[in-house]
A and B are shown apart, each in its own frame.
Chain A
Amino acid sequence: MKLLTTSFLTCAVKTCRSSPASFPLHFRDASLEKISIPFNSTFLLNILPRIDWTALQTTAAELGLSAMLPSENPQDALLAAQEAGEGGMDIAEDESKGTGIDEEVLKKLWTLLMETGVVEGKLVCGNCGFEYPVKEGVGNFLLPPHLV
């Protein structure tokens, strides 16, 4: 399960859905693997707008990977630059001109989001405390009958 997955998961207990504490789920006892995927900056920049940065920082910290993550979403810096009329260019525009974002930063992010997998461990809800097991890279979100 790639680390980016946690951006799209929450607790399966119905009453937790509306609670801010149920997102993101928290890793516990996680063991990681590194998967190699060719770096693709256009694709990465396409994904960044949908990421909740605060949540991602929490997740990275839990896995001891904070160093991989800039303090703010490079996407925001890019948008701010565009608004200030500095760059004014489209994200996917002309590779040669680049995106105005340090490629080292993007490569680290790529490694964090797309090349880091969680193989074993638990995902824990910050609201109800329920622990979802991750086994062989597959998270199990089925609930015991008393919680359904």
Chain B
Amino acid sequence: MLPTPDTSHVSFNTIYEPAEDSFLLLDSLSSPSEAEWLHQRFSNHSPLAIEVGTGSGVVIGFLSANAEYIFGKPITSLGIDVNTNACKATRETARKAIKEQNSSSDYLASACGDLCSAIKPQSVDVLVFNPPYVPTEELPALPNIEQNYRDEFEKDSHLLSLSYAGGLDGMETTYRLLQQIPDVLSGIGVAYVLLCAQNKPEQVKTAVGGLPNGPWLVETIGRSGKKAGWEKLQIIRIWREPN
């Protein structure tokens, strides 16, 4: 078992605390079969990995620190979150985890932003997203540079709501990310996205197949919480066959 990054420095007042979904990502991406697939995919190319919505940084910290095992080589990595507290926490989580594992990977930076809007086209080799996936009546507005809050409480609850609230079917933010995939992924790029049962995973997979610049392949590579024949959470992998 690869070690889970230390997040003891993270304050969970505004930052998503690692939970079942986070750990499913760690387990799925480091499973022997997935590691073998990734080794092959990146056999002569050191990947750039970007996590969107890093929260505590437990996922990108884990991927960076254990890259030699998962990808067969060190990686360069970046983290993006709308929450600046999460950005700073992630940087520290990644730094500690990389040091702890003696990895040669390099965590370049955390950036505060909306999904991949500030990422250069065709540059991402590994994209990871554990989205705000809970169905909610409303989708919280994104913070912006000019944002002013009445008090700390309003700020904290807004930032926390952004970590789980997914609007209609819990999919409003995830669908926006999926639409960015053809633009930001490199030719050998691969994306991992977490879905819950209420997200209507089969419908989502069909939608992925219809993204432009395909053909896009999609497969479930990890699942948890199996109940009455269908799993509560799953990780899908999205990629193209390199030509």
Enumerate chain A interface residues (CB-CB to B < 8 A): 1-2, 4-5, 7-12, 14, 17, 23, 37, 40, 43, 46-47, 49-50, 114, 132-133, 136-145, 148
Contacts and interface: CB of A to CB of B under 8 A. Distances in A.
A137 B46 contact: no
A79 to B, nearest CB: 14
B91 interface: yes
Contacts of B221: none
Nearest to B125: A50
Nearest to B112: A140
29 contacts: A1-B109, A1-B111, A2-B106, A4-B76, A5-B108, A9-B118, A9-B119, A9-B120, A10-B118, A10-B121, A12-B113, A12-B118, A43-B73, A43-B74, A43-B106, A49-B45, A50-B123, A136-B88, A138-B87, A138-B91, A139-B113, A139-B118, A140-B84, A140-B113, A141-B118, A142-B82, A142-B143, A142-B145, A145-B144
B117 interface: yes
A148 B147 CA distance: 14
A23 B120 contact: yes
A142 B162 CA distance: 14
A138 B117 contact: no
Interface residues of B, number: 35
Interface in B20-48: 45-46, 48
B104 interface: yes
B114 A142 contact: yes
Contacts of B183: 17
Contacts of B46: 43, 46-47
A43 B111 contact: no
B108 A17 contact: no
Contacts of B50: 8
Contact of B111 (A17, A46, A49, A138): A138
Contacts of A148: 114, 142, 144
A11 B118 contact: yes
B2 to A, nearest CB: 20
A117 to B, nearest CB: 8
Given A9-B120, A12-B117, A50-B48, A1 B145 contact: no
The 10 closest A-B pairs by CB, nearest first: A141-B113, A46-B46, A141-B118, A1-B109, A12-B117, A12-B118, A5-B109, A2-B108, A140-B112, A5-B108
B111 A139 contact: yes
B121 A1 contact: no
Contacts of A142: 82, 112-114, 142-145
Given A140-B111, A144-B145, 18 more contacts: A1-B108, A1-B111, A2-B108, A2-B109, A5-B78, A7-B120, A8-B78, A43-B74, A43-B104, A46-B46, A47-B76, A50-B48, A132-B118, A137-B91, A138-B84, A138-B112, A141-B118, A144-B146
Nearest to B143: A142
Contacts of B48: 8, 50
Nearest to A23: B120
Interface string B191-211: 000000000000000000000
B174 interface: no
Interface string B50-77: 1000000000000000000000011010
A140 B144 CA distance: 9
Contacts of A133: 145
A114 B106 contact: yes
Contacts of B124: 8
